[in-house]
Amino acid sequence: MFAADGPELTLEQAISVGLKTNPDIIAADRQLAAARTRVNQAIDQGHPTVSFNSMVSGSNADVGQPPPNSESFGTMQNSIVVPLPIGRKPHLAVVQASAQMDASAAQYAGVRTAVVNGIITAFYDLLRKQALLRDAEFVQSEAQRQLDEARLRNNAGDVPELDVLRSEIPVSTAQASVLQAQSDADIANQALNAALGRDLDTPFTAQDAGSLPDLSSVTEADVRLRAQQRATDVLVAKSKIAEEDAALVSSKLWREPQLSLQAIDARSGDVTGFYRLDSIQASVTIPLSDGGLGRDQGREAQAAGDQAKQQLASALLAASAAASASYRTAISARLQTDAAKQAMDIAQSAYDKVVIGYHNGLFPLTDVLSAQSALISTKSTYTQDFYNAQVASALLEVLIGSAVSPGGVR
């Protein structure tokens, strides 16, 4: 089995590895980096720019007041143009880009959370399958011990041959169960490696997390509130509303004037005029009509903003429902685990007493086999319920942000 060969790996270490190597995380990080760049681009567009223009021409002219009657001359004009961003539009462009970046950041956090949840589920599933394998091996050893004892007692004449035959059945069944449990554990090991984004056959040993966490201080109302504050869809919808609000305001500013400064140096070979002329100009452009573009852009922004508000309401409701489901699943799983533990302890006690009674001739072998079957069943149920509770508790902690991992997922 792969899980028994490599270095020990805790859940926190597994999450740390996954956040560095999972390809979904890497892709989401690149998307967020692109969004940050767009914010910088919007900021840069609000800075003054400088352009240089040079124009050279040749002319032939008739002179109105000779001499001379005509002339040929060249002209060169160099100019530096500096458009000056004014008004609110440059700032609103930055607001829109920042809102888009916030949405990308929320999506990035959502991907991280999804990856962490996948690692948690795979990690505890591996621990569950390993525990079930140990249970199967325990059953096999108990069945073999029972068979060996039946053979000894049959040879001594204490029990009939039928007891030996009956004892052979659990041994064969247990051997098959061990093989199946071994295969299930190997598959779970590969599934965890896949969740971590690494080679499926990477060896490691998963360290058991121990006892269940205490959730007594967590309330359903608090879980709902924190989920609403952290849910990806909620944060994305809020960012979209901010983006469209800025777009709506920007669409109403189409009449904002445009200002530019220009320095001109003109030199000419015209003997009848200036041979050099230096000028500084200020140019103001005031749009008189945009053909209805601003109005239509405003309508689009208004519609998109209304849509985002409805998406926010839906996301808040979904976050609350998911939080309540996660909370109740964790609490219910804990109660089921406690009940399963009690049932297993009772089955263990009953099995021990029946075995003692069988050794003393008080119970037949069929009672031992029945008690053993009940113990096996309760052990399996407890193992399943225990790790289900571990998963539910860990996912709840990620949801409300109380689970701390080396990768920064809260």
CATH number at residue 128: 1.20.1600.10
Average pLDDT over residues 262-279: 86
What was the pLDDT predicted at 3?
A: 44
What is the mean predicted confidence (pLDDT) over 20-27?
87
Considering only CA atoms, which of 78, 76, 43 is closest in space to residue 264?
A: 78
Domain-embedded: residue 226: yes
| pLDDT at site 401 | 79
Please check the confidence at residue 146 and state whether its pLDDT lies above 60. Answer: yes
DSSP, collapsed to helix, strand or coil, labels residue 401 as coil
Judge whether 65 lies within some domain.
no
For residue 185, what are the domain limits? 2-60+71-400
Q: Read off the amino acid at residue 73.
A: F
246: exposed, middle or buried (C-beta count within 10 Å: 0-12, 13-18, 19+)?
buried
Token code pair at residue 236 = 């994305």
Check: CB of residue 167 under 8 Å from CB of residue 145: no
Does the pLDDT of residue 1 top 50, yes or no?
Answer: no
Determine the pLDDT at residue 33. 94
**CA nearest neighbour of 241 among 297, 298, 303:** 303
In a domain, 66, yes or no: no
Residue 50 within a domain: yes
Residue 28 forms part of a structural domain: yes
Cα separation, 195 vs 198, whole angstroms: 8
Phi, psi torsion values for 22, nearest 5 degrees: -65, 130
Residue 171 in any domain: the answer is: yes
Residue 161, Cα to own-chain centre: how many angstroms? 62
pLDDT for 241-267, tens place per residue?
999 999 999 999 888 898 999 999 999
DSSP, collapsed to helix, strand or coil, labels residue 230 as helix
pTM of the model: 0.78
Longest dimension (CA), the chain: 149
Tokens, residue 360: 């003393």
Percent with pLDDT over 70 in the chain: 96
Tell me the β-bridge partners of 80.
Answer: 52, 263
- What's the average model confidence in pLDDT over 232-249? 94
The residue type of 369 is L
How many residues are listed for the chain in this entry? 410
H helices present in 217-292, as ranges: 220-230, 232-251
* Residue 103 · residue 12 · CB < 8 Å: no
Q: What is the pLDDT of residues 287-321, one digit of tens each?
A: 989 889 989 999 999 999 999 999 999 999 999 99
Closest by CA to 209, choosing from 408, 25, 13, is 13
pLDDT at 10 over 70: yes
With respect to residue 328, please indicate whether it lies within any of the assigned structural domains.
yes
Helix 293-359 to helix 220-230 angle, to the nearest 10 degrees? 140
Checking if the pLDDT of 212 tops 60, the result is yes
Looking up tokens 């509130």 gives 225
pLDDT of amino acid 5? 60
Using the predicted structure, report yes or no on whether residue 407 has a pLDDT greater than 70: no
Domain count, the chain: 1
Residue 288 falls inside a structural domain: yes
pLDDT on residue 166: 85
- Terminal Cα distance for the chain, rounded: 33
Task: Check whether 2 has a pLDDT greater than 60.
Answer: no
The three-state secondary structure class of 44 is helix
Closest CA to 105 of 286, 284, 218, 239: 239
